[in-house]
Amino acid sequence: MHSRAGERVSGAECHNEEGESWMPEWVRVAVADDVPPGEKIAVSVGGQDIAIFNVDGDLYAIGDTCTHAEASLAEGDFYGTTVECPLHGSPFDVTSGRALGLPAMGNSGKYEVMCEGGAIFVDPVPVIPRALR
Ligand code: FES
C-alpha cells in the first residue's frame, strides 16, 4: 500500500468481540520508525487527538486526552501496557483506554490502528468512545 500522510484509504476489515465486522477508513498518520517498541506518539486526525503506543512490537491507539484535566497521555511515562498521565499520575491501560485509577474520570477512548508498508494507519472513529463516569 502506498499513501501520503493524511490520505484516507480502505483496507483491512475489522472485527469486534461480538464477531461484527466493518471497514475502517484508515488514515495514514506516521511512519513505523516514528514509534519503535517502548515508544509513543500523539497524532491529530479527523478531529481526534490520539496517542499511539508500541508494546513489544504491537501498536495500540487510545484517546490522547486524559479524562481528568485533559493532559496529553502521550507525554506520560509508559511502561508495559500502562501510561501514567503526566499531570496527576492517573494510570491508563494503553490496550483499551481504560482508566486504572483516580483522579481520571473514565475511559479515554480506543481506536483501531495498523502498520502496513512501513506506515501507521488509524481509523479516527473510536471503537470504544471516550466516556466520563
Ligand atoms: S490531568 Fe490526567 S490525572 Fe489529572
pTM metric for this prediction: 0.88
- What are the sequence ranges of the domains in the chain? 26-122
| pLDDT for position 21 | 74
For ligand 1, is residue 73 a contact (CB within 6 Å)? no
User: pLDDT above 70 covers what percent of the chain?
Assistant: 86
pLDDT of 57 reads 94
Fold classification of 26-122 is: Rieske Iron-sulfur Protein (2.102.10)
Q: What is the pLDDT of residues 29-42, one digit of tens each?
A: 999 999 999 999 99
Cβ of 76 closer than 6 Å to ligand 1, yes or no, is no
CA of 27 to the centre of ligand 1 (A): 28
Nearest CA to ligand 1 atom 1: 69
What is the overall mean pLDDT for the chain?
89
The three state secondary structure string of the chain is CCCCCCCEEECCCEECCCCCEECCEEEEEEEHHHCCCCCEEEEEECCEEEEEEEECCEEEEEECECCCCCCEHHHCEEECCEEECCCCCCEEECCCCCECCCCCCCCCCEECEEEECCEEEECCCCCECCCCC
> Counting atoms of ligand 1 from 1, which one is nearest the CA of 103?
3
